[in-house]
Structure formats: C-alpha cells, structure tokens
Amino acid sequence: MAGIELKHIQKAYTVDGWTFPVLKDICLQIPENRITVLLGKSGCGKTTLLRLVGDLEEPNGGEIHFAVTHKTAFVFQEPRLMPWLTVWDNTIFGLKKQSYDTGEIQALLETVGLDGFQKAYPHQLSGGMQQRTAIARALAYAPSFLLMDEPFAALDHFTRTQLQKELIRLQKSQNTGILFVTHSIDEALLLGHKIAFLEDGCIKKEFLLDTDCENRDLLSKELIELKREILAQLHL
Amino acid sequence: MAGIELKHIQKAYTVDGWTFPVLKDICLQIPENRITVLLGKSGCGKTTLLRLVGDLEEPNGGEIHFAVTHKTAFVFQEPRLMPWLTVWDNTIFGLKKQSYDTGEIQALLETVGLDGFQKAYPHQLSGGMQQRTAIARALAYAPSFLLMDEPFAALDHFTRTQLQKELIRLQKSQNTGILFVTHSIDEALLLGHKIAFLEDGCIKKEFLLDTDCENRDLLSKELIELKREILAQLHL
Amino acid sequence: GCGTAEDTSSLDSLTFTYVTSPLNLPSIVEKEEGIFTKAFADDGIEVKYAEITSGADQTQALAAGDVQVLYAVGATSVILSAANDADIKVLNMYSRSPKAFCMYSKDESISSPADLRGKTIAGPVGTNLHELLAAYLATADMTVDDVNFVNMGIPEAKAGLEGGSVDVALLAGAAAYQTQQQGYHLITDGEGLINAIIAVAVTNKFYEAHPEIIEKLQSAQAEIADFMQNHEQEAYEMAAAELDLDVDAVKEMAQYYDFSTEITAADKEGFQRTADFMYQAGMIEKELDVNTLF
Amino acid sequence: MKKIHSAFAPFLGILLLLAVWFLLCRAEIFSPYLLPTPQKVFDSFLRMLFSGELLRDVLISFIRILKGFCIAFLLAFLLGMFRTLLPAAEKYYDAIVQFFRNVPPLSLIPLLILWCGIGETTKTVIIVLASFFPMYLNIVKGFTGCDQRLLEVGDAFGYTKFEKFRYILLPYASADILVGMRIGMGYSWRAIIAAEMIAASSGIGHLILFAQQLSRTDKVIVGIFVVGLVGLATDKCFGFLLKKLFKGNGENGWN
Amino acid sequence: MKKIHSAFAPFLGILLLLAVWFLLCRAEIFSPYLLPTPQKVFDSFLRMLFSGELLRDVLISFIRILKGFCIAFLLAFLLGMFRTLLPAAEKYYDAIVQFFRNVPPLSLIPLLILWCGIGETTKTVIIVLASFFPMYLNIVKGFTGCDQRLLEVGDAFGYTKFEKFRYILLPYASADILVGMRIGMGYSWRAIIAAEMIAASSGIGHLILFAQQLSRTDKVIVGIFVVGLVGLATDKCFGFLLKKLFKGNGENGWN
Ligand SMILES: Nc1ncnc2c1ncn2[C@@H]1O[C@H](COP(=O)(O)OP(=O)(O)OP(=O)(O)O)[C@@H](O)[C@H]1O
Ligand SMILES: Nc1ncnc2c1ncn2[C@@H]1O[C@H](COP(=O)(O)OP(=O)(O)OP(=O)(O)O)[C@@H](O)[C@H]1O
Ligand SMILES: [Mg+2]
Ligand SMILES: [Mg+2]
C-alpha cells in the first residue's frame, strides 16, 4: 500500500512536571499523490502530528510506515527564515549547493508575489511576505511529499486563492503528496482529497472527496452538505 | 473631534539601496470607542500603518493627531512573547509591578482558552496558543485604545468566533477604541464600525456600518451587499 | 599609597622590604626574632614588612613612599635608581657573595671566555649575574655582544639549561646550589670578578628627617649580627624552615656569604665598578659617581 | 555500563596526563629537578596540606579574587548598562576602555605601585584589570544583541528605558553575561601570580612564585594543580549558583 | 557643530588623562623617577621612533601575536566545532580545558621552556594560552545557543550534521565568535610581556620589560602607550575587516 501509514501513534508532552497526552491513538492513512487536509481546533496537536510525519520528533508509541523514501519539504507554522539570508538565498536554502535553474526560482518568486524583493532580508518583509518566502523555499525544493502547517494563514483572500490554485496545479503536474494543516473549512473543502478531523488526540472522522480539486465549487450542493457535516462535527 | 486623525501620512522604506514608498498619502479618521477595521493585500502596508499609529515608528511626512492621550496596547502580528516568562508572567507583562486582580487574569486566560497552561513557557505552546497569550497580554493591560494586527489569523473557526464575541463585548463595556487589521472580509464585516480599505499606499475606500456589531448576521441582505462591494474593490 | 607619608616627623609605622631568597640570613633571623619590632616598640612605631623581590620594584616602592627601608637591595638596583634621579642613600652593607653567583653549563669543555663565543647564555639583565658575565668576558677582551645573551629570570634560565635550549645559565642562590648538586659544569663564579653587593638603603630625605631611627636601625643590625655569630646553627635552621631547604644545603651555601654591614673601601670600589659596567653596557645614560650614594 | 563510562570520561583526560607524566619520569628523560616524579609532588602536596599552609594560601587568594572579580563585574555591568541606557555617553569612555584592553597588566605594575601602593589595592586592581574586559565586552554584546522586536513590546506597553532594561534586556542578555562572568572568573585566577608578585607574603600565587625562585619545581606543580582545581571548583559552584538564580531561564530551553 | 563634537568625543577622555598627568607633574607630587613628565616621555618616544627601534619592536611583536592568535582561533574553532558536531566527545577533553583555563600562564613558563625551548615556540604558546579560552567559550556559547527552530529547518531539508553546522550554526553564532575574537585579540596583546619575558631580544614586550628592569619609567610609559594604541588599531582594523567579510550579517539588523 502506497503512502504513509500511522498506526496507533501516541505522543505526550511534559509541562511544569505534568505530563499530558497530545496524541492518544492516531491511525491515519496518508495517500501518495493526494492532498490530505488536517482539521482541528487550535492546540489539538496538528503541528505535533505533522512533526511526527516529518520525522522531526519521535512518537512515544505506535509506528509510522513510509511506503517509499520521500523527498520531504516542510512549511512550518512560523516562517523560520534565516535572518542573515536574503529572500533569494532563503528560497534556495533547501537546494544546498545543488544546481538549480535561476529562471525557475525567479518564476516561483513571481508566483508567490515576491518579485522585486529578492535582495530583501526577512526583517524587511511583512508577515505575509515572510510566510510566502517560506512557501517558496519548500516549493523550490521540488519535494515528492510536502508538509504544510497553516501556510496561508497570514495571507489575504486573493493571494490565498492564487496560491491555493498554484498548489493544486503543482500537485497535479508533479504528483506531489501533500499533508496540509488548516483552520479554514472552506480551504479544506477546496483542496482536500481526504479531510481528517483531529480531536482529543484521535482522528475523529475522515471525509473522502472524489471530485477533482480543480473544478470544485464551494457553493455546489455536495460541498455545502459536507461543510454542514464538518461543522456538526466541530460542535461536538 | 475625538479619536485619532491621520493627515497625509507618508512612509518609505529602503531595501538594498532602493527606496520605495509604502504609504503614500494616508488620510484616515479613527473614531474613539469604535472598531475600525483595516483591510488590504499582504504587503500593502497595514502593519506599517499600525506601527505609526502606535508610535513605534515615525512617519516621513504628514501628521498624526491624538485627541486624548490613550493607554494603548498592541497585539503584534507575531506573538512576540518573552521566551523566559511563563504564560502567566507574559500575560501580566504589560502591568509591570502595578497591582492586579489575580482572579481577573485567571478569567482572562480562561476566556482565551489557556487555562491549565499558566506555567508553560512559550516554546511549549502551539502557534495559536502563543497568539492567544499575546491577546491576553494586551487585554490584561486594560487599554483605552487597542491596536490589533491580524490577531486571530492562527485560530480555528470556533476559537475565533468566540474571541470575536469577546472583543465586541469588551469594546461595548469598556468603550475601548480598536484598530483591527485582518485579511478576512467576513471578520471585517462582523466587527467593524468602519472598514478602511488600503491599497497602493492610500485609503482607497471607507465603509461605515451602523448596525450594532452584536447582532450582525453575515447572511443579511445588507452585509452580503457590502461584501460584494468590497470584493469588487479588491478585484480592481 | 600616599607619597607623602614620610614627611610627618612623627612616624607611626615603618615598612621594611623583606627578601629571603637567595639566602638572606639577616632578614630571616630579624623577622623570626622580632628584633626591629622590639627596637622600635618604645617609640610606638609599628614595624611592617613588604615582600618585594624584584630590585626595580623595590626602588619604585621606596620612591613612592610605601616602603621606608630597603633591607636587602642589590647594588645594581641602587645604581639604576640613582642614575634615573631617584632619591636614594646607601645606609650600610647587607652582604657580599661573589661566590654565590655562578655560570653553569652542560658542556664540560667550556673553560675560558673564548669558549663562550657565540654561545647562548641566559640570565637576568641588569643584575649581578649580568655583570659577572661581562666581567668574565672582559678578562679576554670580549664583550657581551660576542655571545648570544638572552634576558630571562633565574628559574627560566635553569629550565632552559636543563631543556637544552640554553648553553650556559647564569644562576644564583638555590638554583645554583641545585645545579651544582646535579653535577653540572661550573664555568666560573663571581670571585675576583664582581663584588655582588647587597645593601641597605633609604632615601636621603628620610635619613635627614629621622636620625634617631637610623641610629636605632644600626644598633638593631648589630644585634642581628650578634645573634648570627652566637647562634649559628639556630640561624641556619630558621633559614632552612623559611626557605624549605635542607639545613645542610643552607650551611653549604652560607659559606659564600659575608654579612658584615660595614662599608669598606673595597665595597665603594665595587659599587663604582658596577656603575661603570652599567654605563658601558648602556644600561644607564650618564656616568655616576657612587660617592654621592653614601 | 554506559552511565559509569560517562561519569568516568572527564577523568580520562586527566588520567592520561598523569600517565604520561609518570612514564616520562620513569624513562628519566628529564632530571627530577625539572620534572619531579608524581610521588614527590604528591608528598609535597600532603606535607603542604597538613601544615595548613596550602589551605591558608588558597583562602587568602580566593578572597582577593572574589574582591577583584566582584568589583570588575560591578564595573563592567554598570558601564555596560550605562552604555545601553545612554548610548551617547559611550563614546566618551569607549576609547579609554579599548585602549586599556590591550595593555599588558604586567607593564602597569610600576605605575600601580605608585598610585595604589603595595597593599591589597594593587593586587585587587590587577585582578580587576584581568577580568573586567571579557565581562564588559560580553555584557555589551548581550545588551546590544537584544531582539528589537521584544524591545518594541516594551515600547508598546509604555515601559521606560530603565524598565525595558530591567525586564527585557537583562533577561535576554543573561546568557552572554554568564559566559562573560565565567571567562572573567577564569581570568581572575590566571592573574593571581601577577597580583601576588607585588609585596605579597601569602597566597597561592606567592607560593608558586616563591617556589619558582627557590627552584622547588615540586611545589610549583602542586601550586599549579591547586590553582587549576580550585579554579575549576569555583567555576562549577559558580555555574551551579547562577543556574539556581536564573532558574526560569536555564530550564525553558532558552539558554 | 554636533558632528565635530561627536568626532571629538573619543579623544576627550584621553585628553583628560593627559591633562591630569601634566598637572600632576607640574605640582611635583611625585618624583620624576616614578612619573616622568609628558615632555620627557614624548622625547623618549621621538628618539625611539627615529632610531627605528620602536617600529621594529612593534612589528616583531605583531607577527608573534598574529601567529599565536591564529593558532588559538583555529584551535578554539575546531574544538568548538568538534564539540558541536560530536557532543559525546566533549566530556573527554572538557575537564582538561576547564582546568587549564584557570592556571596562570606565568606559572607554566619554566615548564614551557623545558618542553619548547626558548625560541619562538614558547612565546607563541603563551599567546595561545592567553587568547584561546575567551574564544573557545564564546564560540561554544554561540554554537550551543543557536535557535533550535532554525536547526529544524535544516533537518527538514535533509541537511547533514556538517551542513547544518556550516549553513545554520556558523552564521548564527557569528556575533558570538566575533566578540570572542575581539576579546582574544586583546588578550594576545596583553600577553606580550609574559611571552617576551623569555629570551626575547626584541619586541615591544621586551622593550617594556627591559625598561622596567632598568628603572626607565619614561620608556615603560612609551611602551604602554604604543601597545595600547597598536592594540586599539589592530582591533579597529580587525573589526573593519570582519565587517567586510560578514557583510550580509552586519547590515541586516541581525547583529
Ligand atoms: N515542546 C513542547 N513541550 C510541551 N508541550 C508542547 C510542546 N509542543 C507542543 N506542546 C503542546 O502540545 C499541544 C499541541 O500542540 P500543537 O502545536 O501540535 O497544536 P496545533 O494543533 O498545531 O495548534 P495550533 O493550531 O494552535 O497551531 C499543545 O497543548 C501544546 O501546549
Ligand atoms: N523595516 C523595513 N525595512 C524595509 N522594508 C520594510 C520594513 N518593514 C516593512 N517593509 C516593507 O513595507 C511593506 C509593507 O509592509 P507591512 O508589514 O506594513 O505589510 P502588511 O500590510 O502588514 O502585510 P501582511 O499582511 O503580509 O502582514 C512591505 O513591502 C515590506 O517589505
Ligand atoms: Mg500548529
Ligand atoms: Mg502585517
């Protein structure tokens, strides 16, 4: 079976001597070449789950199976840019010394709307621009699997729509697998092939969408129905 | 005339030796005891404008008139918590050594959903929790004027709705003036008495809403109409 | 450090330098027996000690007024300070010990000044040992420039000799004694070459302002000499304890020292010889008539 | 197994050193005068320990160092603070501070004797000179390197300059200050010989110097060991104390 | 007006010092033996300058210091790097490093002569001993204090340990490393007397020491001034060079 499989994952943290479980028993199948969206309340453990999948942290229990070795890129919740590098250098940070096509990077920066700021340092950027640089850094890496932690939270309506489209295009053309954390139900409905709803340390519910993301209409009967269902879940 | 008045404000930044104007000619009247919402694309200068109003930066030209001396609090776009202080200590950071009511602070932390995390350090919090701590810090200060830079961007649907309600309640009971930056048009419509739309270094358009914020229904004909108008502006 | 302490005619304390190495028996005996303390107790003057070993620092401290009596200071240091216009007066002698200043090497074949040509020789500049080297070389019409003289302290010179990076070391005191015990080759000692004078010195100003103290000091020194004569063994034991050496070693080394305090014509001559040497070596910039020192 | 190994590790280096020393003496490459055998040194150590002289000397030096170190720290801290609160004042004294930073304290001894006499003052001043600069530079670095964004939070909440200093700059700079203090403490101990060169009759520096003059290499080595170990111990105690004091900072992943 | 004032400020402190000195000599509180007049010192300075001896001495000392400093920096950097890349190795040598950090270099001179002779090696070693520790501690602090969140970015992009070191740790720690280097450079100059105590026949440290032994306070003061000024100049050049090298860092508001 392709993709990534989480089996009975547990993770606990200790704060002030008091240990509490964040993830209690996560079973989740993340398909390859598809967009999986993770929904959940603030502080429910979405970032933690992403970090486990991205191998930045070890689970306390359970297993994670990777079908193939992925070239993974991570968009963190905060921009995490290197303050001593310009936008350009931050963008190619993931590429290390390996050769890259200058034109491609330039096109990428244009896509995220940072053209003209190639030589600016992070502290000279607005919050949204920093986040976009971080997205550009992850995309420049040309990953086969992309982990994104609320990447569009700091962006305005239109920039957001534009990048969502870009993401869908990328996913289709490169067959990239994406695990996407968001707070916005609309965004989840627009992007996800699979929507997982995280609550109380478990995956409470999964929704599968079979329409192609490219042609989704939020006002279609199907999606309105689904949205209602999700909202009902949240009210629990 | 009460409130804050910006007259022909200009502000330019220099990046890599190239000076570009961010704010070109801002004229804006920010009423006292009301919520003013600032809308605009990412990177258009919203944070810059807020910083000017908050006296963290000097304009290159123009004048800012304050009707009365305000006790101003600032919620930055990033959490900006002191890493060496616990959530509790960060919350009372604005109060310095002045006396405060422990019960009130506790109630505030419960409102923002951080009960139980009083002794946690910022690096032990999720992104949304950090942002909520920053909001609690500003509210604990009991300001007469509150500047908020995308305070709810990192929050999920429900936490966000809850805090929006809390903000409206606070504004009513304390008569606090609020300048609120957001990317969400819905949020603007829910909260604002006045919505200012920033584009290309100028206030392109202002909208005044006279219904009481408490009873707004986003699906009311009036607001749908307004939303359409704003979206049209954005498409320019 | 108030430079004007000595101006007040009534002193309430008197600071002596206290130097025990290489083998300053009078100082050790004096302190152990409390001779100065007793002598000045009647006048209500408190006796204090300052352990300053470096000659240059001693004369500095004297000029600064922190110390009133340099009890055991090398003739070279006295001359240097006088040549640089400091106010200094030699009260009496402390010791002469030409035989305690030696030149050692590992190489048995060195037996004349000519053999030293081009060799690396280590010792402290501007001291009796430096003068010893110059005087020894002068016997064969050579100068210090004919050898590779390097400036370093006695412990360092000894370490250099041992480690092999130095051909000849100029040594005195315990280091010289040990080197001899180790069986190194003695090239020469100071006998007949230098006078190796150590003196007791004060400032002229002090000398004139406090004749009664000078007088007491002289009689107290006589008392020390008496003690050393009558309780020789005891004095050696005191020194051995103070310096943490064997009594036998102390006895052996003490032979080289003449502790009589009297200033003889030979001493004055020795002073002049040292002053001339220093002038010729460029260590002082003008000729000094040592009679102004006494 | 692994734990024992780990506890043992710090001593491994030292043991190796001792082993080399022992073998060198065994091979009789150097005369015992220059490199006394470990046994002889240990004997001397015991003798000095039991006669009480060692303890007394260490104590005296320790008090001197503490005095000098405290003065140096206060000075460095105040000047650093002054410079931070009043950046305009800095250029008046910076040149002098920078000048003296490069001057060998040994060269100042004659002048120090002149100004401060031959008493404790001179010794203290030498220790101050030795430990002031690393502390000052680290403190200044800590203060100037503070995250501007956090300082702005202070501005936003109406903090005065001094309050910003106290509640933001100071905690932020604490890591730098601590490193400065540790370096400064080390340099205080290192300066003990220079300090006790002048008219000292006791102290571990005097002990080493005196032994050197009398060619007692065994005593010199005992002295070196004692200074090194006592310095190490002070450093550890010091680190421990500071950890307690700055508890919040040490354990929040911040330092 | 304000600009002139500001350019003048650094000299104000120095001028004040000179004025006090001049007045003290005028008042004849101290004998000229202890505190020569500024004129006399200036005369000596000119004489030494024109005879060329001063320049030669400074140059020789400068080369020595550069040598010692470079070795010390390399050592400190490599050990710091080693410790960062291989944290397990640290405990093996940390105890020894910490031990020697507190040992006065003056006490080691006889042992150094024994091991390294009286040539340049010993002098270099003394300078290395003087400047190694502040650099090492600052470098270690810089490396260990690195923001974990940025290091995780490296992990996320599949950086190796070494790459993380090179591209994240190193730039991040550069401020700390620079402060360490400046302190280390200062300490190199300060050690010049101790270094040239041993069998030197030239160098500014030797000049001061020799003048001291010959009670030539005027020459000592000239030496002190020259060391202080040359040190100051090295420091400034050094700061300038490093600013050029680390250009990106210096001007992005990060340092
Ligand atoms: N290093 C840590 N130490 C202790 N607790 C932690 C740590 N990291 C996260 N936590 C806790 O784990 C819980 C989940 O955090 P996580 O960051 O995964 O939330 P999240 O779902 O991403 O929230 P948000 O939407 O606000 O980003 C929180 O309660 C947080 O306090
Ligand atoms: N310190 C600075 N130096 C140079 N340029 C700056 C600086 N701060 C902001 N800018 C520039 O000013 C512009 C506006 O920035 P600002 O932070 O006000 O945007 P914003 O409207 O808040 O955007 P966002 O919604 O992404 O936060 C950006 O183009 C940014 O690059
Ligand atoms: Mg998160
Ligand atoms: Mg912004």
Ligand nearest to the CA of A116: 2
* Residue E236, pLDDT above cutoff 80: yes
Nearest to E108 by CA among A181, A135, D209: D209
Ligand 4 geometric centre to CA of A126 (Å): 5
D246 has pLDDT over 70: no
Q: Residue E63, Cα to own-chain centre: how many angstroms?
A: 13
Q: Which of D147, D246, D252 would you mutate first to test chain B, the one with the most B CBs within 10 A?
A: D252
- Look at residue A19 and give its three-state secondary structure: strand
Span from the CA of B128 to the centroid of ligand 1 (angstroms): 9
- Please enumerate in sequence order all residues whose Cβ is within 8 A of that of E176, keeping only pairs 6 or more positions apart, or say none: D141, D176, E138, E139, E141, E142, E145
Dihedral over Cα of B24, B28, B34, B38: its sign: negative
**Alpha-carbon gap: B213 to the closest alpha carbon of chain A (Å):** 22
Average pLDDT over residues E109-125: 86
d(CA D97, CA E231): 12
Instruction: Look at chain C and count its residues.
Output: 294
Predicted complex ipTM: 0.87
Q: Give CB contacts under 8 A, 24+ apart, made by B119-122.
A: B119/A15, B119/A16, B119/B86, B119/B87, B119/B88, B120/A15, B120/A16, B120/B86, B120/B87, B121/B83, B121/B84, B121/B85, B121/B86, B121/B87, B121/D252, B121/D253, B121/D254, B122/B79, B122/B81, B122/B82, B122/B83, B122/B85, B122/B87, B122/B90
- Buried b / exposed e over E227-239, threshold 16 CB at 10 Å, is bbebbbebbeeee
Question: Which range is least confidently modeled, A175-189, B196-210, D43-57, D205-219?
Answer: D205-219
Average pLDDT of the segment spanning D37-48: 90
Count of residues in chain D:
255
Q: What distance lies between CA C122 and its chain's CA centroid?
A: 19
Q: For residue B197, what are the β-bridge partners? A: B39, B205
State the CB neighbour count (10 A cutoff) for residue E71: 16
Query: How far is residue A124's CA from residue D140's CA, in Å, rounded to a whole number?
Result: 25
Which segments of chain A are extended strands (E)? 4-15, 18-30, 35-40, 61-66, 72-75, 145-149, 177-181, 194-199, 202-208
Is-cis flag, bond preceding A21, omega within 30? no
Q: How far is CA C12 from CA C15, C18, C207, C213, D114, in A?
A: 10, 19, 16, 12, 21
- Find, in chain D, the residue whose alpha carbon is nearest to that of B92: D157
Q: What is the pLDDT of residue D4?
A: 56
Question: Domain B1-70+179-235 has what CATH class?
Answer: alpha beta
**Residues facing A208 on adjacent strands:** A194
Most B CBs within 10 Å: which of A42, A85, A109, as the mutation test of the B interface? Answer: A42
Rounded CA-CA distance A207/A185 in Å is 12
Q: Which residue has the tokens 């982990």?
A: A147
E156-205 pLDDT, tens digit each: 888 999 999 999 999 888 888 888 888 899 889 988 988 888 877 788 99
H or E element: which one contains A118? none
The CA-to-CA distance between both ends of chain B, in Å, stands at: 33
pLDDT at D254: 38
Asked whether B45 and B198 are in contact (CB, 8 A), the reply is yes
C150 near E CB under 8 A: yes
Indicate if the pLDDT at residue E250 is higher than 60: no
Chain B neighbors (3+ CB pairs < 8 Å):
A, D
Determine the pLDDT at residue C10: 64
Q: Are the C-beta atoms of C193 and C98 separated by less than 8 Å?
A: yes
C-alpha D119/C-alpha C1 separation (Å) is 8
Identify which ligand lies nearest to the alpha carbon of B44.
2
Pocket residue to mutate for ligand 2, from B11, B13, B179, most atoms within 8 A of Cβ: B13
Query: How far apart, in whole angstroms, are the C-alpha atoms of residue D109 and residue D115?
Result: 10
High-pLDDT (> 90) share of chain E, %? 25
Q: Tokens 């240097």 identify what position? A: C80
pLDDT band per the 50, 70, 90 thresholds, residue E112: confident
Across the interface, whether the CB atoms of C160 and E197 are under 8 A apart is answered no
Q: E255: pLDDT confidence band, cut at 50, 70 and 90?
A: very low
Average pLDDT, chain A: 89
Confirm or reject contact between D175 and chain B (CB < 8 A). Answer: no
Domain residue ranges in chain B: 1-70+179-235
- Per the structure block, which two tokens stand in for A186? 């609309």
**Which ligand neighbours the alpha carbon of B128 most closely?**
1
Specify whether the CB–CB gap between A94 and A71 falls below 8 A.
Answer: no
Q: Do A128 and B42 touch (CB under 8 A)?
A: yes
Indicate whether residue B211 lines ligand 1 (CB < 6 A).
no
Q: Which residues contact A227 (CB under 8 A, 6 or more apart)?
A: A185, A186, A189, A218
- pLDDT over 90, % of chain B: 52
Give the DSSP letter string of C25-41: HHHHHHHHHTHHHHHHH
pLDDT tens string E17-53 = 888 888 888 887 777 777 888 888 999 999 999 998 8
Mean pLDDT of D74-101: 86
> Taking residues B156-165, what's their average pLDDT?
89
The pLDDT score that the predictor gives to residue B203 is 92
Nearest Cα to D220, choosing from D202, D207, D232? Answer: D207
CA distance C160 to E118: 7
Please tell me the distance from the alpha carbon of residue D151 to that of residue C165, in angstroms, as a whole number.
59
**Does the CB of E22 have a partner CB in chain A at under 8 Å?**
no
Looking at the predicted structure, is the pLDDT value of residue B87 above 90? Answer: yes
User: Helix or strand or coil: residue A62?
Assistant: strand
Q: Cis omega (within 30 of 0) on the bond before D32?
A: no
Q: How far apart (Å, rounded) are the C-alpha atoms in residues A39 and A46?
A: 8
Cα B201 from Cα B119, distance rounded (Å): 43
Give the N- to C-terminal CA distance of chain A in Å, as an integer: 33
E123 touching C, CB under 8 A?
Answer: no
Low-confidence ranges of chain C (pLDDT < 50): 1-8
Instruction: Report the share of chain B in percent with pLDDT over 70.
Output: 97
Contact A157 B47 (CB under 8 A): no
| Residues in the ligand 2 pocket, defined by CB under 6 Å | A 120, 124-129, 154; B 13, 15, 22, 40, 42-48, 77
